[in-house]
Structure 1
Amino acid sequence: MPQSLLLSRPSILSPYSLSILLSSHAKFQPFNSTIHLFDELRHSYNSAGLAFGVDEFNVLLRAFCVQRRMGEARLVFNRGFEPDVVSFNIRIDACCKKGRFLDALTVFDEMSKRNLSPTLQTLTTLVYGAGIAGDLPKAQELFDEMFERGLDVDRGAYNALMSCHMRVGNLKGGMAVMDEMVEKGIELDDVSYYTVLSRLKKLEDVCLVYGRMIGNRFVPRMRTVMLLMKVFCNNKRLDLGLQFWDYIVEKGLCLHCHVLDVLVIGLCGGGREDEGYRCFKQVVQSGRQPLDRTYRLLEGLLVKANEFKKLEELRDMMSRFMDLDTK
């Protein structure tokens, strides 16, 4: 949205349009230029009789924090506005994402000195930040503080604590957090499972979490599907790869060509081309086009095995996509 349009048409001013303009400006322009634009926008708001307060101030603050310009974000606090909880949450989030957990704690202390009560978002962000810093005791302390303050601890908070356990290699602790979620009726989501699975090194540990996921009839997102398929095929556990494939087919999950590619390469390398061909056919029947690499691998093996009927069928399947490309 052009800057001149916003300044000349106060009627279209809104937090959303303000966010677009200031974020773009903060990304490419120096601090003073962005502050000057902010002051011009404040004048436009005032001329239009629109309220201009802490919400707009937070838009400016977020614009610098998104760009990780933390020093300049601190200077924004001296703009004559009284920061609220959202203001501090923005700064804490930016510090944690930048790996500056001690700075985040300093901002948290400043928040307390202003008698602003932290929200669930505040403490959840700090737990994530403690995880990035590898400080499990502090993460647990912050997590416990949620209950002490009477906050309604949700799945995001538990996932943050679980992530911290997994980052420091504490599988037992991570699984304990998962168990506590189940006991309290908090449904595990893809973040929960991926958080644990992505940090595991041993196949038996992956199988343990995988078994729990399948036992709960949970339908994972594609990143988790891809992660598991790579683990199974890289460890020559083609039985688990096929079992998992059939599970996602049964659940109606979109059959991704890259997942198929990993599985087919594993199956063909293990002398199980027929099963690879079956999976390939399922993807085509779902209306998705497999990777050319997957097709060439199967084509070469079918030629070598003199499986001319299947070869003809394979080429016919792929020709459908080629016909669509030429239309």
Structure 2
Amino acid sequence: MMQRKMEVLFRLTENITFRWTHGHHQNTLSRYTQTYLPHFDHFTYTRSPKTLSFGTVVALNEYDSYPHNRTTQQSPSVVGFSEQSHNSCLMTEEDRGQDIETIFRIINMHSSSEPSMAPSLSNSGVVFTNTLVERVLKRVRFSNGNGFKAMEFFNWVGRQPHYSHTSEAYNQMLFIVARMRKFDTVWELLEEMHRNDPKLITHKTMQIVLARFAKVCPLRETVEAFESLEDYTGVLDVTAFNALLRALCQERNMKDVGIVYHQLKKQFNPNTQSFNILLSGWQTAERALSFYDEMLQLGQRPDIVTYNSLLHALCKDRNALYRDRGMRTVIKIMEEMKNSGCHPDLKTYTILIGGLGLIRENDQARMMLVEMRDHGCHPDAAAYNAVIRNFCMGQRVRDAYKVLDEMVNEGIDPNPKTYNSFIRYYYRSKYWEEGWDVYRRMIETRCFPCTQTCILLMRLLCRHEELKRALQLWDDMLEKGFGSYSLVLDVLIDVLCDNGKLNEAEKCFLETIEKGHKPSSFAYKRLRVLLEIAQKHESIHNLSKKMKSIDYQQ
């Protein structure tokens, strides 16, 4: 019996190379060769780099194990193997990262119009575990990868022997296809989840589905989608109701949220979490305080989330803060909070910093960082970002950079929100060179900008007709996978067309489609009109064909 228990699955396929990690030497390898490898027609081993070559690694679940008492086939090939414990794991985190990057590149390198990428996946040499599939889909999701090819990958790996998708994998895929507005596919995936195991559909699943409906569909359709979920979950409870409220708060105006809440509250009996969600959505102190009073009248007990949500509503209502002559209501809520046994946490202080910034008490807001430490609450990136944002909004960019230096000295890495405040300041001040310097710093540190930052920077560059740098930003987005291609494309197409750069505009437009994203009707119509004026009939035909391939309807 092997000293290190391995999971090995076999299937006859073609030859690939499998990485051998953690410095295992020949004596360790021999245990496996004695047990399994005599069955292989082809086998190679080299010490540097350490590789094993035998068959194709395809798919398995982490918890599948090889039935050691079972007779192997005459010419089997390895599906994959992994250690049971973390201490004896053969694959390092670096190897997993490389595998994720390998599959992500395969997904993104294949355009939506290309044939199947199954051969590339089969020959990739990657063990497709649940964790790896989840992380690949997350990579596609957060990098705005090719959604069409992500779906092909998802379906392909789901058909492999000894593998079944987890709830998290389905959730990531649902987000990707819903973002593409493929709602028929959303319902098909939900049906598949229900058919395989109803427990795969969690409240997180409901949240993802409802959020996308709320973002792009009328209110009535969103509520109907919520009611339809009962067919897949069996019951709609207050947690499901909260998922609907959260989706509406994130994607709709609060008037719509209020209508739905009052229509359904008797059916679902709102709890503390329901009110926490509602409080987090209100933009006015008056409405937030009204719902807070209703919560108390219904006998629901506020918790730290309740108080933070209420404080957040108060601290983002600039008019209420000025009418309050400072933050008297905020201070009153803080006292009530402490008397109830809830002590301020990191989020509480960060909210207060934002409120002080709105009434231009930027120096007092910065002192909150010191007060936090005095109360045993060490500032995190969000707290520093709030102070930096205040200084940038107050045109005190030098003070903002001082806080940034302090943040780095404290060992806290700046994130995209940190740099967004600087880019926003330079956008308002029309300083494109300084804005570009901040962007280059982000790229060098692999802190990739969010979509909002990309749009601001693209507008800033285009305003100054820095088309070369604007196209460099676009190329970086495509290469490194950040930002929303379709939203940034609108800005880029506009300026390229204005400057007669029709070939570049067409190229960027087609690149968006090749990445599996649907350009806006604005970008399409603008480009098509100019192509017609230029009598580029072949380009028009190609453009129309590409748009039909992504179900564009005029």
Q: TM-score, normalised by structure 1?
A: 0.73
Amino acid aligned to 1:189: N
- Name the counterpart of 1:214: 443
- Name the counterpart of 2:380: 154
Distance 2:446 2:344 in 1: 36
How many percent identity over aligned positions? 27
Q: How does 1:240-319 map to 2 (within 5 A)?
A: 240-253=469-482, 256-299=485-528, 301=530, 308=536, 311-319=537-545
Amino acid aligned to 1:156: A
Deviations 1:294-324 (A, max 9, x none): 4455455556666x5xx41452242232265
Distance 1:292 1:29 in 2: 31
Contact 1:284 1:317 in 2 (8 A): no
- Displacement after TM superposition at 1:272 (Å): 3.2
- Name the counterpart of 1:106: 332
Q: How does 1:5-44 map to 2 (within 5 A)?
A: 16=239, 19=242, 27-28=258-259
- Name the counterpart of 1:93: 312
Distance 1:65 1:273 in 2: 45
Q: Do the aligned partners of residues 18 and 77 (structure 1) sit closer, same or farther apart at CA in structure 2, a change above 3 Å counting?
A: same
Q: Do the aligned partners of residues 326 and 222 (structure 1) sit closer, same or farther apart at CA in structure 2, a change above 3 Å counting?
A: closer
- Name the counterpart of 2:414: 188
Deviations 1:237-290 (A, max 9, x none): 112101111111221336623322322332333343333333233223223343
SS of match in other structure, 1:139: helix
Deviations 1:112-151 (A, max 9, x none): 4667532111111111111222211221122221111121
Distance 1:245 1:22 in 2: 36
Q: Do the aligned partners of residues 326 and 205 (structure 1) sit closer, same or farther apart at CA in structure 2, a change above 3 Å counting?
A: closer
Q: Which residue among 430, 451, 464 is the counterpart of 1:202? A: 430
- Name the counterpart of 1:46: none
Unaligned runs of 5+ in 1: 2-11, 43-55
Q: Do the aligned partners of residues 255 and 88 (structure 1) sit closer, same or farther apart at CA in structure 2, a change above 3 Å counting?
A: closer
Larger CA deviation: 99-108 vs 57-66 = 57-66
Q: Do the aligned partners of residues 88 and 257 (structure 1) sit closer, same or farther apart at CA in structure 2, a change above 3 Å counting?
A: closer
Q: Do the aligned partners of residues 185 and 258 (structure 1) sit closer, same or farther apart at CA in structure 2, a change above 3 Å counting?
A: same
- Displacement after TM superposition at 1:94 (Å): 2.2
Contact 1:166 1:195 in 2 (8 A): yes
- Name the counterpart of 1:8: none
- Name the counterpart of 1:236: 465
Amino acid aligned to 2:458: M
Larger CA deviation: 264-273 vs 147-156 = 264-273
- Displacement after TM superposition at 1:165 (Å): 1.2
Unaligned runs of 5+ in 2: 1-222, 224-234, 249-255, 322-326
Amino acid aligned to 1:152: H
Q: Do the aligned partners of residues 320 and 281 (structure 1) sit closer, same or farther apart at CA in structure 2, a change above 3 Å counting?
A: closer
Structure (1/2) with the larger helix percentage = 1
Distance 2:236 2:502 in 1: 61
Distance 2:312 2:469 in 1: 39
SS of match in other structure, 1:249: helix
Q: Do the aligned partners of residues 93 and 280 (structure 1) sit closer, same or farther apart at CA in structure 2, a change above 3 Å counting?
A: closer
Paired positions, count: 297
RMSD: 3.9
- Name the counterpart of 1:5: none
Tell me which of the two structures has the higher relative contact order, counting C-alpha pairs closer than 8 angstroms and 6 or more residues apart: 2
Distance 1:180 1:264 in 2: 40
SS of match in other structure, 1:145: helix
Distance 1:315 1:235 in 2: 33
